[in-house]
Structure 1
Amino acid sequence: MLQGAIERLADPAVPQKLCFFFNAQLHHVLHAMPLAIELARDPRFAVDVVAMTHDHIAMARDIARRHGASTIRFVQVEGPMLSAFTRLAGSATPPKLVALAAARGRLAEYDAIVVPERTSLLLRHAGLKRTCFIHTCHGAGDRAVGYDRRIRQFDFVLLAGDKQRRRMLDKGLIREGHYAVVGYGKFDLTRDRAPARLFPQDRPVVLYNPHFSPKLSSWPGMGLDVVRLFAEDGRFNLIVAPHIRMYDGRRRRERMERRLEEFSRLPHVHIDLGSAASVDMSYTRMAAVYLGDVSSQIYEFVVRPRPCLFLNAHGANWQGNPSYRHWHYGPVHEDADHIVEKVAHAIASHGAYAAVQQKGIEDTFDREGRSASERAGRAVADYLTSRLRHGTMPRTTSFGFGRGSALAHE
């Protein structure tokens, strides 16, 4: 990588080598590929997508094809040790630290690495001290985990809107000249795609989207009751699409699919425990009502204000807590009793929440001017070009990792 940097300083016509690295679940692809497509159109950069699984490569390749980004190179990191650890973990993706070890040699070749997660910052401790790390975030929710202290160690951060900018500045996670508010690039990938038809009858569609964290999710204590009550009632079509991380493990997913089999056969119930449709906004766009708890996908739903309601399964004291701002967008319930009637009430009372939803969306997503992808591409291109011109290198100071924090929920 150092040799390449010297060549680029000597000859600015030599493209900078950029890596878009996917080291987590499939949903991260949609948060970074808009930027990859934009930068691939700029002759100053050579763009590679490096990922740990075939599914990641297939999704990224399909996105690039649909958007005419023919110059991107796709690389899957493979090896017998990596496969063995993945099988042992029983997950769709390899354990992150094993993946980083397997990919480290290849990643050292790049001038900059773009990631939607934070664990990859550990590569700095593995010799990639001169590499520029760029963070796209993955979602624009309210929970404190989205404002992880590790973010301050990125060289450049892309933000969806003023909410993120304000909270990150308050926490000292970003600094002037090293971030840009650009909007939400995922919208650019999904805006023109018509949702597939899932149900034979045109009933209102309810999306039940519980979070994966057992401490926060409504699924462990209420999930099966929710599904059963909708199945028995029949007034609504129901999509059950938990956060993709909930059933990332193949064996856990198969066990739950067997438990839900009696419901999945019903014409008005659709169950998805982790397909691409559960992350590409297919369901948030087609649903008339959102039922959930703390997932940031609520913002991908209320970008077009609609009725929603929330299940407080963990007894949260949520009033006045910025991590629960989205619970002001609809009724909050402590149990799933009479959940179908509660959904009907949420629809009837939506007018009381529409203005609050709209204000939250305006604060969360900056939608002024050009597309988010274009704005992100310009911001990152300008930053990387300036960095090369001035010979600026990333900081190599303390990285802010506490014990056990490297694999925090992301």
Structure 2
Amino acid sequence: MTNPDPKGPDPKGRGGRPSVCFLYIAQTHQILHSLPIAIALAKGWPDIDVQIATTTQEHLDYVRELLETLKVPPIPSRLLPPAWLRSLRLKGASTPPKALMLAANARRLARYDAVVTPERTTALLRKLGVKDTKLVYTQHGAGDRGGPFEPRLKQFDLVMAAGPKQRDRMLDEGWVTPQTCAMVGYPKFDIIDALPGSPLPVFAQAKPLVVYNPHFHPTLGSWPKWGRRILEQFAADDRYNLIFAPHIRVFEGADPRTIEALAPFVGHPRIHLDLGGPAAIDMTYTRAADIYLGDVSSQVYEFLRTPKPCLFLNPSHADWRGDESFHHWLYGPVVDSPEGVVDAVASARRGHGDYVEAQKRGFAESFDLRETPSSVRAAQAIVDRLPAMKHASR
């Protein structure tokens, strides 16, 4: 299906077919946000040379597994050199240092007509002398947190938006222009709908299922201050089954058995711990859960593809009302203390009717979904916006 040589093909020169590299240098969860665009581009525009490059064998294996499962046309894939740098991990990271990998491969990436990425560090290529290659940022979520709205967006020739909320904020804050932004929907939904999904944990008894999804933000994320107390309360209360699926960066690369705070909950009959496996990133949990418990993760919007009860945690006591970075906190109650959290979940379930319309509006503002698949719209945006692609046939 994919090129069996881990070194893979070299980039094409500019005299040949237009070439596009889909680049993966960050955590695994980002792959699902741009790989469907690579598939759509390769299937729909055969005159464009689509390639995939990763910085870890794990990422390469995951990409190839997805392509094989989906039975799509072959897309050449490769590991970026050098091997010694690929093996370097700093502070427990699951990937080699992004900036160093970009520096080591700047000349190679400069030979593509376009580099497509779901993360913003790739903007560094501009400072590394990559001037002619077009840079495309797909995003890797449709959340409200202010961090992703930042100056590096200006370095990209094309920035995608999932819906009007994301597009309008980027335009209003001056990070993009109408010419450099395309509203394409949410390509991740396309690949999720096409995949079989990961197995769900088996609990001893069927109970309403809560997914607790804390973010990695050091102050807005609820794990550092409240997380263990929340798990203790669910462990002591038999009303719910709980999936603890934090953002992959909270415990990056760790095993639950190695984390002292999680040790009491390993093997608990009503608590399942997943610190970054496939089910934690492919919407298996957000689709299956009955209640969402979290803070500022964009995964709440994936959960709300079907309106369901939410409860939000405010460990920093943020003054959130009227702040667009906390817009999703309009979709359920917000608590300022971890005490009584299980009772608060029960209350959120009973009062869900008060939030259904807000959830529906918020989802529609976040995702511009149409009959044409989002991944195809995103591929079309690349072809339309980047001069080297315009004459490629579909």
Structure-1-length-normalised TM-score: 0.88
Moved more, 58-67 or 298-307: 58-67
Tell me, which stretches of 5 or more residues in structure 1 are unaligned? 8-13, 390-410
Q: CA deviation at 1:59?
A: 1.6
Moved more, 310-319 or 72-81: 72-81
Match of 1:225 among 217, 226, 229: 229
Given that 1:38 and 1:377 are in contact with CA atoms closer than 8 Å, whether structure 2 keeps it comes out as: yes
1:54 is aligned to 2:35: no
Q: 2:82 corresponds to which residue?
A: 79
Q: For 1:131 and 1:123, how far apart are their aligned partners in 2?
A: 9
Q: For 2:218 and 2:133, how far apart are their aligned partners in 1?
A: 36
Given that 1:157 and 1:178 are in contact with CA atoms closer than 8 Å, whether structure 2 keeps it comes out as: yes
Match of 2:186 among 180, 184, 187: 184
Q: Amino acid of the residue matched to residue 47 of structure 1?
A: V
Q: Amino acid of the residue matched to residue 56 of structure 1?
A: H
Given that 1:47 and 1:71 are in contact with CA atoms closer than 8 Å, whether structure 2 keeps it comes out as: no
Q: For 2:388 and 2:319, how far apart are their aligned partners in 1?
A: 46
Q: For 1:2 and 1:288, how far apart are their aligned partners in 2?
A: 46
User: For residues 348 and 121 of structure 1, do their structure 2 counterparts lie closer, same or farther at Cα, with a shift above 3 Å needed?
Assistant: same
Q: CA deviation at 1:240?
A: 0.4
Given that 2:20 and 2:115 are in contact with CA atoms closer than 8 Å, whether structure 1 keeps it comes out as: yes
Q: For 1:160 and 1:320, how far apart are their aligned partners in 2?
A: 22
Q: Amino acid of the residue matched to residue 69 of structure 2?
A: R
Pairs within 5 Å for 1:380-399: 380-385=382-387
SS of corresponding position for 1:147: coil
Q: Amino acid of the residue matched to residue 132 of structure 2?
A: R
Match of 2:213 among 209, 214, 235: 209
Q: For 2:188 and 2:372, how far apart are their aligned partners in 1?
A: 14
Match of 2:70 among 67, 72, 85: 67
Q: 1:111 corresponds to which residue?
A: 113
Q: 1:197 corresponds to which residue?
A: 200
Given that 2:24 and 2:55 are in contact with CA atoms closer than 8 Å, whether structure 1 keeps it comes out as: yes
Q: For 1:216 and 1:18, how far apart are their aligned partners in 2?
A: 37
1:356 is aligned to 2:358: yes
Given that 2:41 and 2:376 are in contact with CA atoms closer than 8 Å, whether structure 1 keeps it comes out as: no
Q: 1:317 corresponds to which residue?
A: 319
Q: For 1:69 and 1:46, how far apart are their aligned partners in 2?
A: 15
Q: CA deviation at 1:52?
A: 0.8
Say what the alpha-carbon RMSD is for the aligned residues. Answer: 2.1
Q: For 2:265 and 2:17, how far apart are their aligned partners in 1?
A: 54
Q: For 1:250 and 1:221, how far apart are their aligned partners in 2?
A: 19
CA deviations on 1:302-353 (whole Å, 9 max, x unpaired) are 1211000011000100000000000010000011111111111100000000
Q: For 2:68 and 2:387, how far apart are their aligned partners in 1?
A: 27
Q: Amino acid of the residue matched to residue 270 of structure 2?
A: H
Q: For 2:134 and 2:222, how far apart are their aligned partners in 1?
A: 39
Q: Stretches of 4+ moved more than 6 A in 1?
A: none
Q: Amino acid of the residue matched to residue 331 of structure 1?
A: P
Given that 1:33 and 1:63 are in contact with CA atoms closer than 8 Å, whether structure 2 keeps it comes out as: no
Q: 2:291 corresponds to which residue?
A: 289
Pairs within 5 Å for 1:243-392: 243-250=247-254, 255-256=258-259, 258-385=260-387
Moved more, 285-294 or 367-376: 367-376
Moved more, 62-71 or 265-274: 62-71
Q: CA deviation at 1:195?
A: 5.1
Q: For 1:153 and 1:72, how far apart are their aligned partners in 2?
A: 27
Moved more, 98-107 or 28-37: 98-107
Q: 1:397 corresponds to which residue?
A: none
Q: Amino acid of the residue matched to residue 211 of structure 2?
A: L
Q: For 1:78 and 1:340, how far apart are their aligned partners in 2?
A: 49
Q: 1:153 corresponds to which residue?
A: 155
Q: CA deviation at 1:267?
A: 1.8
Q: 1:237 corresponds to which residue?
A: 241
Structure showing the higher helix proportion among its residues:
1
Q: CA deviation at 1:386?
A: 6.3
Moved more, 170-179 or 289-298: 170-179
Q: CA deviation at 1:189?
A: 1.1
Q: CA deviation at 1:2?
A: 11
Tell me, which stretches of 5 or more residues in structure 2 are unaligned? 1-9
Match of 1:133 among 128, 132, 135: 135
Q: For 1:3 and 1:352, how far apart are their aligned partners in 2?
A: 56
Q: For 2:94 and 2:87, how far apart are their aligned partners in 1?
A: 12
User: For residues 28 and 3 of structure 1, do their structure 2 counterparts lie closer, same or farther at Cα, with a shift above 3 Å needed?
Assistant: closer
Q: 1:16 corresponds to which residue?
A: 18
Q: Amino acid of the residue matched to residue 27 of structure 1?
A: H
CA deviations on 1:274-302 (whole Å, 9 max, x unpaired) are 21221111110110000000011110101
Q: 2:13 corresponds to which residue?
A: 4
Q: Amino acid of the residue matched to residue 67 of structure 1?
A: L
